[in-house]
Chain A
Amino acid sequence: MSKRRHDLEAQFDRILSEHGAAISRLAYSYEAVTGIREELVQEIALAIWQALPHFRGECSERTFVFRIAHNRGLTHVSRRRPPQRSLDDLEEADEPADPGPHLDEQLAQINQRERLGSAVQCLPVAHKQMIVLMLEGLSHAEIGAVLGITENNVAVRLTRARKALKEAMGVGQ
């Protein structure tokens, strides 16, 4: 195996370790069904692997990863059929992962998390992209670089996206 290939594999493994969870969450915003979402996550990882040899550091690695992930998510949205949750998915979503002694508290947390997740999934594409990048902790400059807009524009759009998210979650203004 050549040194270049070895370096790329090491870089790719590191990217997956660092951003794997974020990629999975981003895929969640585009796809509610678990099985299809896992497929989408793998597609995103594959796209990153294919684009990696051409990454010259013009933007940060995080920006690079989020651009590919969002663009692959958009392609997925344009191809998919109307979302249908299987019974397994519904059961999985309703059941707490590990019911412990503070059951009520845990259920409330899961409920909040589900509400946030569902609200993000329901948002229009542009708001969804903005909200996901904000929740992942990207700076305005990074969000601008991912979306292809200016930093000032990011601030204006973020305010609107947050308002839309609050409405989707049913939080009073």
Chain B
Amino acid sequence: MTNDPMTDRELNLWREQWTSVARPSPEFQGQVQKRIKLKDRRFWLGNLLAVAALAGMLILAVYQLSHEANRFEKGEATGVCVLLLVAVACRLWISRGTWRAETQSIRAFVELWRRRVLAQIRGIQISIYVAIGWLVFCAALAAANWATIRLEITATGCLVLTVVILFMLPVIWFAGMWLHRRKVAELNEVTRLLEEMGTTND
């Protein structure tokens, strides 16, 4: 800031005018408290439901593993257990709270934001191909071992499985592409912000 008394008068005038801009509504604090309570309630309810769903699925899977003789169903139950473990690990990893991006400086926040969006785009691209590759791999494996598998699944089960796979492929592709487009738009916006901050200031 300059020490020119003329300019400082101008600054003081601006500050005076600025203080009367957009006063908060009188019920502002009450609204915030209400929103915090709602958020807390949602957080606890969400966690409770997630834990109940996980426990239910785990009990079912373990029950199936210990009681069913069918290898196909045992494989299914093992898959569910592994998926649950991965889901819990992911949830803990995301909510570990080791860093709070918004409490950092603006430049650090925007740079971090850009890196996160880039990582998400890479993650989406990899996930699309991994999911499709996995489905194709399973289909190929099933076709190669069809003589063994067919004894353990019914004709209806086989049809359902084929329909599900055929339905999943375009769903995964279009959902992935939609997410990818959204993230690319976000990346463009963040890059624009970063450039604006850089070019305007430097």
Contacts and interface: CB of A to CB of B under 8 A. Distances in A.
Interface of A: 13, 16-17, 20-21, 23-25, 27-28, 37-38, 41-42, 45-47, 49, 51, 54-55, 64, 67-68, 70-72, 74, 77-78, 109, 112-113, 116-117, 124-127, 129-130, 134-137, 140, 145-149, 153, 155, 157-160, 162, 165
Given A42-B31, A113-B17, A146 B24 contact: no
B149 to A, nearest CB: 48
B106 A46 contact: no
22 contacts: A16-B28, A25-B18, A25-B22, A38-B25, A42-B28, A49-B36, A51-B103, A54-B100, A78-B186, A113-B20, A116-B17, A125-B193, A126-B197, A127-B200, A134-B1, A134-B11, A147-B105, A147-B107, A148-B107, A157-B201, A158-B1, A159-B2
Nearest to A164: B200
Name the prevailing secondary structure of the B interface residues. Answer: helix
A173 B86 CA distance: 63
Given A21-B24, A41-B24, A116 B102 contact: no
Nearest to A116: B17
Contacts of B97: 54
Contacts of A71: 101-102, 104, 106, 109
Contacts of A78: 186, 189-190, 193
Given A42-B32, A134-B11, A70 B106 contact: yes
B134 to A, nearest CB: 33
B103 A64 contact: yes
Name the prevailing secondary structure of the A interface residues. Answer: helix
Interface string B6-48: 0100010011011111111100110110011001000000000
